Amino acid sequence: MSKRLRYVAAGRVVFGEVIYGPGGSYGPRTQGDYQLVTVVRGEARVSVEGEEMWLGPEQVGLLRPGRREMFRFAAEAATQHTWCALHPSLVDGALRRASGAVAPVQKVSHRLGQILEMGLGLPAGVSREAPGLGEALGLAALHEFLLAGDGGSGGEEAPDAVRRLLDWLGLHAAEPADLKSLAAVAGVSPSQLVKLCRRHLGTTPGRALWEARTRQGLRLLQDTGLSVSEVAFRSGFQTPFHFSRWVRGMTGKSPRALRAESWNGSRPAGAGARRGG
Protein backbone atom coordinates (compact mmCIF):
# COMPACT_ATOMS: atom_id res chain seq x y z
CA MET A 1 0.00 0.00 0.00
CA SER A 2 1.09 3.56 -0.63
CA LYS A 3 0.31 6.82 1.12
CA ARG A 4 0.39 10.08 -0.82
CA LEU A 5 1.86 12.94 1.19
CA ARG A 6 1.81 15.83 -1.27
CA TYR A 7 0.52 16.26 -4.82
CA VAL A 8 0.58 19.42 -6.96
CA ALA A 9 -0.61 19.61 -10.57
CA ALA A 10 0.42 22.84 -12.30
CA GLY A 11 -0.25 23.03 -16.04
CA ARG A 12 1.84 20.39 -17.76
CA VAL A 13 3.90 19.56 -14.66
CA VAL A 14 3.08 17.44 -11.63
CA PHE A 15 5.02 17.32 -8.35
CA GLY A 16 4.32 14.58 -5.84
CA GLU A 17 5.56 12.80 -2.73
CA VAL A 18 4.53 9.31 -1.59
CA ILE A 19 5.47 6.57 0.89
CA TYR A 20 5.40 2.87 -0.02
CA GLY A 21 5.36 0.21 2.69
CA PRO A 22 8.06 -2.49 2.95
CA GLY A 23 8.09 -4.68 -0.13
CA GLY A 24 5.86 -2.30 -2.06
CA SER A 25 5.76 -2.16 -5.85
CA TYR A 26 4.25 -0.07 -8.62
CA GLY A 27 3.66 -1.04 -12.23
CA PRO A 28 4.29 -2.25 -14.76
CA ARG A 29 3.41 0.88 -16.68
CA THR A 30 4.46 2.75 -19.80
CA GLN A 31 5.97 6.07 -18.83
CA GLY A 32 4.14 9.02 -20.38
CA ASP A 33 6.32 11.90 -19.17
CA TYR A 34 9.84 13.06 -18.51
CA GLN A 35 9.92 12.20 -14.81
CA LEU A 36 12.52 12.91 -12.14
CA VAL A 37 12.22 10.45 -9.24
CA THR A 38 14.12 11.09 -5.99
CA VAL A 39 14.41 8.81 -2.96
CA VAL A 40 14.22 10.47 0.44
CA ARG A 41 14.59 7.24 2.47
CA GLY A 42 14.55 3.57 1.61
CA GLU A 43 15.36 2.45 -1.92
CA ALA A 44 13.75 1.91 -5.31
CA ARG A 45 14.71 -0.54 -8.04
CA VAL A 46 13.22 0.47 -11.36
CA SER A 47 13.30 -2.01 -14.21
CA VAL A 48 13.20 -0.10 -17.50
CA GLU A 49 12.83 -2.44 -20.46
CA GLY A 50 15.22 -4.99 -19.02
CA GLU A 51 17.71 -2.52 -17.51
CA GLU A 52 17.68 -1.87 -13.76
CA MET A 53 17.96 1.58 -12.20
CA TRP A 54 18.77 1.59 -8.48
CA LEU A 55 17.95 4.67 -6.40
CA GLY A 56 19.07 5.08 -2.80
CA PRO A 57 18.58 8.00 -0.41
CA GLU A 58 19.33 11.42 -1.94
CA GLN A 59 19.58 9.98 -5.44
CA VAL A 60 17.52 11.07 -8.44
CA GLY A 61 16.74 9.17 -11.61
CA LEU A 62 15.40 10.40 -14.94
CA LEU A 63 12.67 8.36 -16.64
CA ARG A 64 11.76 9.11 -20.25
CA PRO A 65 8.43 8.69 -22.07
CA GLY A 66 7.45 5.63 -24.03
CA ARG A 67 9.41 3.09 -21.96
CA ARG A 68 7.99 0.20 -19.91
CA GLU A 69 8.76 0.42 -16.18
CA MET A 70 8.33 -1.57 -12.97
CA PHE A 71 9.07 -0.15 -9.49
CA ARG A 72 10.07 -2.34 -6.52
CA PHE A 73 10.76 -0.73 -3.16
CA ALA A 74 12.83 -1.73 -0.11
CA ALA A 75 11.76 -5.06 1.40
CA GLU A 76 12.52 -4.30 5.06
CA ALA A 77 11.51 -0.66 5.46
CA ALA A 78 9.22 1.99 4.02
CA THR A 79 10.40 4.01 1.03
CA GLN A 80 9.60 7.69 0.69
CA HIS A 81 10.14 9.31 -2.68
CA THR A 82 9.20 12.41 -4.64
CA TRP A 83 8.69 12.98 -8.32
CA CYS A 84 8.43 15.75 -10.88
CA ALA A 85 6.71 14.81 -14.15
CA LEU A 86 6.86 17.02 -17.26
CA HIS A 87 4.50 16.41 -20.17
CA PRO A 88 6.52 15.83 -23.39
CA SER A 89 4.94 18.90 -25.03
CA LEU A 90 6.85 21.03 -22.52
CA VAL A 91 10.26 19.55 -23.40
CA ASP A 92 11.83 21.03 -26.53
CA GLY A 93 14.21 19.34 -28.93
CA ALA A 94 17.38 20.40 -27.15
CA LEU A 95 16.20 19.03 -23.81
CA ARG A 96 14.99 15.80 -25.40
CA ARG A 97 18.38 15.20 -26.97
CA ALA A 98 20.23 16.06 -23.78
CA SER A 99 18.02 13.79 -21.68
CA GLY A 100 19.00 10.83 -23.82
CA ALA A 101 22.71 11.47 -23.38
CA VAL A 102 23.03 12.18 -19.64
CA ALA A 103 23.64 9.56 -16.92
CA PRO A 104 20.14 8.51 -15.74
CA VAL A 105 21.01 8.38 -12.00
CA GLN A 106 22.72 11.12 -9.97
CA LYS A 107 23.12 12.49 -6.50
CA VAL A 108 20.45 15.09 -5.73
CA SER A 109 22.17 18.48 -5.95
CA HIS A 110 21.38 21.24 -3.47
CA ARG A 111 19.77 23.35 -6.20
CA LEU A 112 17.65 20.47 -7.47
CA GLY A 113 16.45 19.74 -3.95
CA GLN A 114 15.43 23.38 -3.54
CA ILE A 115 13.57 23.44 -6.86
CA LEU A 116 11.65 20.25 -6.09
CA GLU A 117 10.71 21.50 -2.64
CA MET A 118 9.42 24.73 -4.17
CA GLY A 119 7.29 22.71 -6.58
CA LEU A 120 5.91 20.51 -3.82
CA GLY A 121 5.09 23.62 -1.80
CA LEU A 122 2.99 25.34 -4.49
CA PRO A 123 -0.48 26.28 -3.22
CA ALA A 124 -3.75 24.64 -4.15
CA GLY A 125 -5.25 26.23 -7.23
CA VAL A 126 -1.91 26.95 -8.88
CA SER A 127 -2.92 24.92 -11.95
CA ARG A 128 -5.83 27.28 -12.50
CA GLU A 129 -4.31 30.56 -11.37
CA ALA A 130 -0.64 30.32 -12.36
CA PRO A 131 0.17 27.13 -14.31
CA GLY A 132 3.26 28.76 -15.78
CA LEU A 133 4.88 28.88 -12.33
CA GLY A 134 4.78 25.10 -11.95
CA GLU A 135 5.94 24.57 -15.52
CA ALA A 136 8.88 26.92 -14.99
CA LEU A 137 9.92 25.02 -11.87
CA GLY A 138 9.59 21.69 -13.69
CA LEU A 139 11.81 22.90 -16.53
CA ALA A 140 14.29 24.32 -14.02
CA ALA A 141 14.48 20.92 -12.32
CA LEU A 142 15.14 19.15 -15.62
CA HIS A 143 17.78 21.72 -16.64
CA GLU A 144 19.52 21.34 -13.28
CA PHE A 145 19.54 17.55 -13.58
CA LEU A 146 21.03 17.69 -17.09
CA LEU A 147 23.69 20.26 -16.23
CA ALA A 148 24.73 18.58 -12.99
CA GLY A 149 24.84 15.18 -14.66
CA ASP A 150 27.27 16.30 -17.34
CA GLY A 151 29.47 18.34 -15.01
CA GLY A 152 32.23 15.73 -14.87
CA SER A 153 32.93 15.78 -18.60
CA GLY A 154 34.26 19.30 -18.78
CA GLY A 155 35.03 20.48 -15.26
CA GLU A 156 33.13 23.20 -13.47
CA GLU A 157 33.61 25.80 -16.20
CA ALA A 158 31.31 24.04 -18.69
CA PRO A 159 28.17 23.80 -16.51
CA ASP A 160 28.71 27.29 -15.12
CA ALA A 161 29.05 28.84 -18.58
CA VAL A 162 25.97 27.10 -19.89
CA ARG A 163 24.02 27.95 -16.73
CA ARG A 164 24.91 31.62 -17.15
CA LEU A 165 23.61 31.47 -20.71
CA LEU A 166 20.36 29.76 -19.69
CA ASP A 167 19.82 32.22 -16.83
CA TRP A 168 20.23 35.13 -19.25
CA LEU A 169 17.92 33.56 -21.83
CA GLY A 170 15.26 33.09 -19.17
CA LEU A 171 15.19 36.84 -18.51
CA HIS A 172 16.39 38.53 -21.71
CA ALA A 173 15.67 36.21 -24.65
CA ALA A 174 13.63 38.88 -26.46
CA GLU A 175 16.56 41.30 -26.54
CA PRO A 176 18.78 41.55 -29.65
CA ALA A 177 21.60 39.01 -29.43
CA ASP A 178 24.14 37.25 -31.58
CA LEU A 179 26.75 34.59 -30.96
CA LYS A 180 29.33 37.12 -29.79
CA SER A 181 27.02 38.71 -27.23
CA LEU A 182 25.79 35.32 -25.99
CA ALA A 183 29.39 34.21 -25.53
CA ALA A 184 30.07 37.37 -23.49
CA VAL A 185 27.11 36.52 -21.25
CA ALA A 186 28.44 33.00 -20.74
CA GLY A 187 31.99 34.25 -20.13
CA VAL A 188 33.65 32.13 -22.82
CA SER A 189 34.71 32.57 -26.44
CA PRO A 190 32.12 32.11 -29.23
CA SER A 191 33.74 28.90 -30.41
CA GLN A 192 33.84 27.53 -26.85
CA LEU A 193 30.17 28.41 -26.32
CA VAL A 194 29.21 26.51 -29.47
CA LYS A 195 31.16 23.50 -28.21
CA LEU A 196 29.63 23.68 -24.72
CA CYS A 197 26.08 24.06 -26.01
CA ARG A 198 26.46 21.06 -28.30
CA ARG A 199 27.91 18.99 -25.46
CA HIS A 200 25.54 20.00 -22.66
CA LEU A 201 22.32 21.04 -24.44
CA GLY A 202 22.56 19.09 -27.68
CA THR A 203 22.00 22.24 -29.74
CA THR A 204 23.63 25.50 -30.86
CA PRO A 205 23.54 28.82 -28.98
CA GLY A 206 21.43 30.34 -31.75
CA ARG A 207 18.83 27.60 -31.60
CA ALA A 208 18.75 27.80 -27.79
CA LEU A 209 18.00 31.53 -28.19
CA TRP A 210 15.10 30.98 -30.58
CA GLU A 211 13.67 28.16 -28.45
CA ALA A 212 13.76 30.47 -25.41
CA ARG A 213 12.00 33.21 -27.41
CA THR A 214 9.36 30.73 -28.51
CA ARG A 215 8.73 29.62 -24.93
CA GLN A 216 8.32 33.27 -23.92
CA GLY A 217 5.84 33.74 -26.73
CA LEU A 218 3.87 30.68 -25.64
CA ARG A 219 3.55 32.14 -22.14
CA LEU A 220 2.31 35.46 -23.56
CA LEU A 221 -0.23 33.67 -25.75
CA GLN A 222 -1.62 31.92 -22.69
CA ASP A 223 -1.46 34.73 -20.15
CA THR A 224 -2.26 37.90 -22.14
CA GLY A 225 -4.71 39.22 -24.70
CA LEU A 226 -2.00 40.57 -26.98
CA SER A 227 -2.39 39.87 -30.69
CA VAL A 228 -0.22 37.15 -32.22
CA SER A 229 1.79 39.85 -34.01
CA GLU A 230 2.43 41.74 -30.77
CA VAL A 231 3.37 38.53 -28.97
CA ALA A 232 5.84 37.76 -31.75
CA PHE A 233 7.50 41.17 -31.57
CA ARG A 234 7.65 41.20 -27.76
CA SER A 235 9.29 37.78 -27.80
CA GLY A 236 12.10 38.84 -30.14
CA PHE A 237 10.72 37.76 -33.53
CA GLN A 238 10.80 40.14 -36.46
CA THR A 239 7.67 38.73 -38.12
CA PRO A 240 4.55 36.83 -36.96
CA PHE A 241 5.29 34.25 -39.67
CA HIS A 242 8.70 33.45 -38.15
CA PHE A 243 7.11 33.13 -34.71
CA SER A 244 4.34 30.86 -36.02
CA ARG A 245 6.87 28.61 -37.73
CA TRP A 246 8.78 28.11 -34.47
CA VAL A 247 5.58 27.55 -32.49
CA ARG A 248 4.47 24.88 -34.96
CA GLY A 249 7.90 23.29 -34.83
CA MET A 250 7.81 23.01 -31.02
CA THR A 251 4.14 22.19 -30.46
CA GLY A 252 2.70 21.02 -33.77
CA LYS A 253 -0.01 23.71 -33.55
CA SER A 254 -0.51 27.30 -34.62
CA PRO A 255 -0.36 30.18 -32.10
CA ARG A 256 -4.10 30.79 -32.50
CA ALA A 257 -4.94 27.14 -31.91
CA LEU A 258 -2.83 27.06 -28.75
CA ARG A 259 -4.44 30.25 -27.45
CA ALA A 260 -7.91 28.85 -28.11
CA GLU A 261 -7.03 25.70 -26.16
CA SER A 262 -5.70 27.72 -23.24
CA TRP A 263 -8.61 30.13 -23.09
CA ASN A 264 -11.16 27.33 -23.40
CA GLY A 265 -9.61 25.61 -20.39
CA SER A 266 -8.42 22.57 -22.35
CA ARG A 267 -4.94 21.09 -22.08
CA PRO A 268 -2.79 18.78 -24.19
CA ALA A 269 -3.57 15.09 -24.10
CA GLY A 270 -1.90 13.49 -21.11
CA ALA A 271 -1.33 16.78 -19.35
CA GLY A 272 -3.83 16.17 -16.61
CA ALA A 273 -3.22 14.67 -13.18
CA ARG A 274 -0.61 11.94 -13.33
CA ARG A 275 0.50 9.67 -10.59
CA GLY A 276 4.21 9.11 -10.10
CA GLY A 277 5.99 5.81 -9.56
Domains annotated for the chain, with CATH where assigned, are: 2-129 (2.60.120.10), 150-263 (1.10.10.60)
The whole-number pLDDT of residue 153 equals 39
Distance, in Å, from the CA atom of 247 to the CA atom of 78, rounded to the nearest integer, reads: 45
A 10 A CB-CB count for 215 gives 23
Beta bridge partners of 46: 53, 71
Please, is 170 exposed, middle or buried when counting C-beta atoms within 10 Å of its C-beta (0-12, 13-18, 19+)?
middle
Q: What is the pLDDT of residues 97-115, one digit of tens each?
A: 888 888 889 888 888 988 9
Model confidence over 237-258: pLDDT tens digits?
A: 999 999 999 999 888 889 998 8
Mean pLDDT of 135-151: 84
Q: Give the pLDDT confidence of 161-202 residue by residue, as tens digits.
A: 888 898 898 889 999 999 999 999 988 889 989 988 888 778
pTM of the full predicted structure?
0.57
Query: How many Cβ atoms from other residues are within 10 Å of residue 33's Cβ?
Result: 24
Asked if the peptide bond before residue 28 counts as cis, ω within 30 degrees of 0, the response is: yes
Cα separation, 165 vs 205, in Å, equals 9
Instruction: Give tens-digit pLDDT for 61-70.
Output: 999 999 999 9
pLDDT classification of 158: cutoffs 50, 70, 90: very low
- Extended beta strands in 32-179, E state: 34-41, 44-48, 51-55, 59-63, 68-73, 79-86, 105-107
* Buried b or exposed e, range 178-200, using 16+ CB within 10 angstroms: eeeebbebbebebeebbebbeeb
